[in-house]
Structure 1
Amino acid sequence: MTIAQFCLLVVCVLPVACAALAKSKGMGKRRRDGGFDNHNPREWLAKQQGWQARAHAAQANGWEALPIFLAALFVAHQHQVAQATVDALAMGFLAARLVYIGLYLADQPWLRSLAWFAGLAACVALFVVR
């Protein structure tokens, strides 16, 4: 497994981790006591506030960011970009996503946007690097 492939695996798991964080407040509690409602999870998540709501939003953004990263890795592979370059850009994307999630949870919108753009830049670079 290349470093880029490992990064892809981690990026695929990040939204699931964000979902777990978003639901963590309600885990272990009964539904009638405000615990997580697996019968209607979207409605329950929509009612969350604070960092749990931001974790849910980070989850959604993680799923939204995944296709461009996948496409960028595919294009870089098709263009036979040096593996070291692909690995470095993939690690950059992963690092940007981790920082993005941390800043989202910490309610730092300006810095979060910068991290998002850094991740996008890594993807664009994967598309154009030769």
Structure 2
Amino acid sequence: MTIAYWCVLAAALMPLIWTGAAKTSKPGYNNKRPREFLASLEGYGARANAAQLNSFEAFPLFAAGVIIAHQIGVMDQTLIDTLAMAFISLRLLFGILYLVNWHWLRSLAWTAAASCCIAFFVLSA
């Protein structure tokens, strides 16, 4: 299995990091009604929940890009792996920047990570 495929697994599991941060951000987490609890969060917890949701949103484009790049076979494997690792690094940075509320840098990290996904498609064309 390639590094890029391992990165797909990492991206699929990444929301767990941010949901863990959200669920531990204030006392009273109730696993019987997790969505109610998450909806009640403010500040750091709400940002952690937003990072979780955004991670779920970013996953399909990334996974599709990696799979298509592999299937088309136009790109060098090293480039595919490098783009995948860059995506994971940028998405981790994105989540951290979300938690500390540095919105301008967070937007730059989001844009750079999205650019990695787009690169899979453009370079595979």
Asked if these proteins are the same fold (TM beyond 0.5), I'd say: yes
Does residue 85 in structure 1 map to residue 76 in structure 2?
no
What is the RMSD of the two structures over their aligned residues, measured on CA atoms? 1.2
Paired with 1:62 and 1:121, the residues of 2 have a C-alpha distance of 15
Tell me, what secondary structure is at the counterpart of 1:129? helix
Paired with 1:51 and 1:6, the residues of 2 have a C-alpha distance of 29
Does residue 39 in structure 1 map to residue 25 in structure 2?
no
Runs of 4+ with >2 A deviation: none
Instruction: Select 1:72's aligned residue among 65, 69, 94.
Output: 65
Tell me how far 1:25 sits from its aligned partner: 3.1
Q: Which structure would you say has the larger Rg?
A: 1
Tell me how far 1:124 sits from its aligned partner: 0.5
* Runs (5+) with no aligned partner, structure 2: none
* Runs (5+) with no aligned partner, structure 1: 27-33
Give the TM-score of the pair, scaled to structure 1: 0.89
* Contact 2:7–2:84, Cα closer than 8 Å, also in 1: yes
* Contact 1:100–1:116, Cα closer than 8 Å, also in 2: yes
Tell me how far 1:75 sits from its aligned partner: 1.5
Does residue 125 in structure 1 map to residue 82 in structure 2?
no
* Contact 2:90–2:109, Cα closer than 8 Å, also in 1: yes
Aligned residues: 123
Give the TM-score of the pair, scaled to structure 2: 0.93
Paired with 1:13 and 1:71, the residues of 2 have a C-alpha distance of 16
Tell me, what secondary structure is at the counterpart of 2:30? coil
* Contact 1:25–1:35, Cα closer than 8 Å, also in 2: no
Paired with 1:25 and 1:122, the residues of 2 have a C-alpha distance of 31
Q: Which whole-Å deviations, capped at 9, do the CAs of 1:68-119 have from their partners, x for residues lacking one?
A: 0011012111220211010010011111101100100010111101100001
User: Where does residue 94 of structure 2 map in the other structure?
Assistant: 100
Q: Structure 2: which amino acid aligns with 1:7?
A: C
User: Where does residue 29 of structure 1 map in the other structure?
Assistant: none
